[in-house]
Structure 1
Amino acid sequence: MSDKPRFFDLSDERGVLRTSIAVTLVISSLGIGFGLISGSFSITFDGVYSLVDASMSLLSLIVVNLITSYAVSKGLSRKLRERFSVGFWHLEPMVLGLNATLLIGVSAYALVNAISSLLEGGRDLEFGWAIVYAVITLIACCSVAFIEARANRRIRSEFVRLDVKGWIMSAGITAALLIAFCIGYAVQGTQWQWLSPYIDPAVLALVCLLIIPLPIPVIRQALADIFLVTPVDLKMHIDQVAQAFVEKHGLIAYRAYVARVGRAKEIELYFIIPEQAPARTIAEWDALRDEIGDAVGGKGPDRWLTVVFTGNLEWAE
């Protein structure tokens, strides 16, 4: 019996992302194909949007593999480990920020095209084919979003969380398209048929206006991680732990430096000991470090904790 995880293992972060990429590629192909058949630019945009999303999910999967391989010391070449001796966590916010920026760029481009089409008198399309595509895609998006959200309750991955948000956004886009296409189909042969050429670009413009602001929080968080902005909640927790440790062991002071880079927490603690403090063995100092590590919490491959004891304040500042 092999212990090797299945390629589409939904209990593993990488398996979830592989599943997402596979389904996204299928939906992207359907979107581009149905968009060309029906003459709908909004469906074609949906397909291109999915294609961009799939390419970024693939990049996310590569980064996850690097982070995981480094953490478990498996499957990573010695040369690569020597070149990136502090790990690959810094790649995660870069990929998340790039992903969100590309999605905003694609949506902004589609918005410009939608407005241009409206000004030119709209676009005729085959509503029957468009409705078939919208129904298939809506079912797929809702199913994948539900499955990934359920899996991420245990995995707790930022990549998967963003991917779930992407599927929810895609489901919202497709639902709006389906409603618009049904309205367009219903007005055929009526006095309102003159509106049908405007339905496709109008709904595309509306969808773009709604989804363009959504990735902005992701970009903001990614920039905070890239620029090593100190998380307030984590800093407060470290300060409480360090102050309690100083009071318990009769130390002079401490200095704490905290940052969050993607899934990694980087923590440096410097404790200033009195000059008259009794000498301790290496084992005793290590026991104090273990005490600090247990109090800080979050022990695991994504925590980078450095604890230094010194009698010279200059080493801590």
Structure 2
Amino acid sequence: MIIFDGLYSFISVILSMLSLYINNYMAKRDFEKFPFGKHILEPIVISIKSLIIAIMCLYSLVGAVKSIISGGNNLEFGLAIIYSIVSVIGCGAISLYMKVKSKALSSELIKAEFTQWFMDTALSTAVLVGFIIGIAISNTKLNFLNPYIDPFMTVAASLLCIRIPIKIFIESFKEVICVKANDEINDDIYVLVKEIEEEYKFEDSITRVSKVGRELRIEIDFVYNKDSKLKTLDQMDNVREEINDAIKHIDYKKWLNVSFTGNKKWAI
């Protein structure tokens, strides 16, 4: 369990350094090389981090099950307790720092870091509790259970921890392949576009909304005909301003593209 906890913490440090580098790299402006921005890097990095942690949890789970089958292992509680206390304090402090930073920066990358370190804190706490239980039963009739405490804790921790990185990986991978934004945001923009479609008597409208990192990519195509009220370039810009003002409450950076066409093939 100590190896699992220590390995998790070590990997967390390496992945946090990667996140810090990517976060700083994203902050540098480089329009010529990245004309559409670097926001795609955020879900890519989160996906990689989550996948690595999930694989590590699975590896530890298999090792713990093998240990149980072979009869467990003996525990030395002295240094284990000291390690666990230091680990809980250290991981807890980093977790709290990441939580404050994630709120201040509104960054999915930092939010993922907080989740990762919170899991590490919970893991270290479970290790400490397990060792305390082991000490408590060491001089009782239940002493025969001591060799199994360590592998059983590892199994429990692996099963609890593996669910979160898998969930984060799925959500981040959806952003990499530009799956539509969540229903709340998507429906909000869709209703707005349909209202404008009716107001200007457009023939149809196509709305695409996807979230990539901390950016919301919005593409709206209006199809008009001879009955449509919109005719001039100024009116088109007014519609764009209307949409932009109406979605300011959505707390993401936005890439907004509003197009107008008389032929629906250019909108689909």
**How many positions carry a matched residue from both structures?**
266
**Cα pair distance change 1:298/1:55, threshold 3 Å:** farther
Say yes or no: does 1:168 pair with 2:118: yes
Does residue 82 (structure 1) correspond to residue 41 (structure 2)? The answer is no
Kindly indicate whether the alpha-carbon contact (under 8 Å) linking 1:293 and 1:299 is maintained by their aligned counterparts in 2: no
Quote how far apart the aligned CAs of 1:308 are. 1.0
The answer on whether the counterparts of 1:258 and 1:268 sit within 8 Å (CA) in structure 2 is yes
**8 Å contact kept, 1:225–1:261:** yes
Shift in CA distance, 82/236, structure 1 to aligned 2, threshold 3 Å: same
Distance in 2 (CA, whole Å) between partners of 1:62 and 1:271 is 41
Matching residue of 1:292? 243
Flag the 1:262–1:175 CA change in 2: closer, same or farther, 3 A: same
- Residues 1:291 and 1:49: Cα distance change in structure 2 (over 3 Å): same
**Which residue number corresponds to residue 16 of structure 2?**
57
Structure 1 residue 298, shift from structure 2 partner: 5.5
SS of alignment partner, residue 163 of structure 2: coil
- Give the corresponding residue for 2:27: 68
> Which residue of structure 1 aligns with residue 225 of structure 2?
274
Give the TM-score normalised by the residue count of structure 1: 0.75
Query: Are 1:275 and 1:311, in contact at CA under 8 Å, matched by a contact in 2?
Result: no
2:63 equivalent to 1:104:
no
Conserved in 1, the CA contact under 8 Å of 2:102 and 2:108?
Answer: no
Contact 1:63 1:88 in 2 (8 A): no
Q: TM-score normalized by structure 2? A: 0.88
Runs of at least 5 residues in structure 2 that lack an aligned partner in the other structure: none
The answer to whether the aligner puts 1:91 opposite 2:50 as a matched pair is no
Match of 1:139 in 2: 89
Q: Would the aligned equivalents of 2:57 and 2:162 in 1 still touch at CA under 8 Å? A: yes
Match of 1:25 in 2: none
- 2:162 aligns with 212
Q: CA deviation at 1:191?
A: 4.3
Cα distance between partner residues in 1 of 2:129 and 2:231: 76
Once the two structures are TM-superposed, the CA of residue 52 in structure 1 deviates from its matched residue by 1.6
* Partner residue in 2 for 1:38: none
Separation of aligned partners in 2, 1:270 and 1:190: 74
SS at the partner of 1:215? helix
Question: What are the within-5 Å matches in structure 2 for residues 1-317 of structure 1?
Answer: 42-69=1-28, 73=29, 76=30, 81-231=31-181, 232-275=183-226, 279-280=231-232, 282-297=233-248, 302-317=253-268
Name the structure, 1 or 2, with higher relative contact order (CA <8 Å, separation 6+). 2
Q: Report the CA distance between 1:222 and its aligned residue.
A: 1.6
